[in-house]
Amino acid sequence: MNGHRRISVLAAGAALVLTTAGAASAFAATPERYSWTNHVDFPAIECPGFDAWGEWDISHDLTVYLDSAGNAIGDLERVTYVGRFYNPDTQVSVADRGSKRFLDTFAPDGSYASTIFTAVRIDKYVGEAGRVVLGAQDAFGDQPFLRSAGRDGFTDANIAALCAALSQ
């Protein structure tokens, strides 16, 4: 390929990239981002003889996706937490940490159209991991559609083990 033809092919390719980038920005606005943290401390689990409390520092990162008119069309929220379950009488505690992720799409009226929720909890007694998919309707059009997979750490046996550890 001669030099002039190569330059025109490169220029045409660059123009296509710039045009495509411009067109893409016409279809969506820049996402909005929000971040915040909070601390919670509250009765979390009923144990024989006492209520186990949960105390966590929670960090949130929320990205809201917008269409070209500025309407929210979906969001992604990432939540991480670090803390503990504890016996308020003895201060015996069990470390607890994890993350949650919510990926939502919105219907034109702003209601939730679907959500994909994933979670991981790292804890000696009630550790868990899973994924839940919620849709607006099932095949019959009248009930939320739900699929889930994973490991539920809050079984009766796991809670009993956590309570036993906190009662010492």
pLDDT band at 166 (very low <50, low <70, confident <90, very high): very high
What percent of the chain shows pLDDT beyond 70?
77
Amino acid identity at 55: E
Given this model, what pLDDT does residue 1 score?
Answer: 46
pLDDT at position 137 is: 54
Residue 58's contacts (CB-CB under 8 Å, 6 or more residues apart) are 37, 38, 39, 40, 79, 80, 81
Q: What is the mean pLDDT of residues 99-116?
A: 91
Report DSSP letters for 50-112, one per residue: EEEEEEEEEEEEEEEEEETTS-EEEEEEEEEEEEEEE-TTT--EEEEEEEEEEEEEE-TTSSE
List pLDDT tens digits, range 42-98: 999 999 999 999 999 999 999 999 999 999 999 999 999 999 999 999 999 999 999
pLDDT of residue 134: 84
Task: Return the pLDDT at 162.
Answer: 98
Residue 125: CB atoms within 10 Å: 20
Residue 73: which residues within 8 A CB-CB, separation 6 or more?
Answer: 65, 66, 67, 105, 106
More confident residue, 20 or 39: 39
